Amino acid sequence: MIKNDYELIYLYQTTKDEHILNIIIEKYRPLIWKNIYRFYVEPKDRDDFYQEACLLMLDALEVFDLSRNKTFTKYYELILFRRFIHLKDKSPKYILYDKAELIESSYTPSFDAIDKLEEGFHLTAFEKDVFKLFFTDKMTQDNIAKTLDKDIKSIKNAIYRIKVKIQI
């Protein structure tokens, strides 16, 4: 008992039967997957796009007007195309991969390298103190100024001089 699209749509709009909805979704499954592959969707996102297409099918069935003399296939393909464009625009453009050296818990700073770094450049005693507090201890400029009992302007200038000497 295969029915055409118009009969299925009319039946769904009048009865809201889940069985009819499953028939319609199964009938349009190739169209959905064609559009998913057409947009080069990442394999991890394909199921999400498929679910979005099924939800869109529900909305399309509710809104579709049989009296307009348009085919449901073209109507659904158009709104599916637009939704996929919207979803692709919303998806993140850059993917950050976990790297062991970027995870703070796995990172162990090499203090020997920092000591060698301080020795390799000719820093004044004040600059060495600022270097240790700012780069090693990660203190803010305000806290460094309070700790060393100096003006914040001199701390900023010292950080600038250190960066110039180290060429960061």
Question: Which pair of tokens denotes residue 118?
Answer: 């301080």
State the distance between the two ends of the chain, measured CA to CA, in whole angstroms: 74
Average pLDDT over residues 78-86: 94
Contacts of 162 (CB under 8 A, 6+ apart): 121, 123, 127, 130, 131, 134, 135
Question: Which pair of tokens denotes residue 127?
Answer: 């600059």
pLDDT at 55 over 90: yes
pTM, entire model: 0.54
- Domain 5-90, CATH: 1.10.1740
Q: Where are the domains of the chain?
A: 5-90, 107-166
Average pLDDT over residues 2-8: 82
Protein fold of 107-166: Arc Repressor Mutant, subunit A (1.10.10)
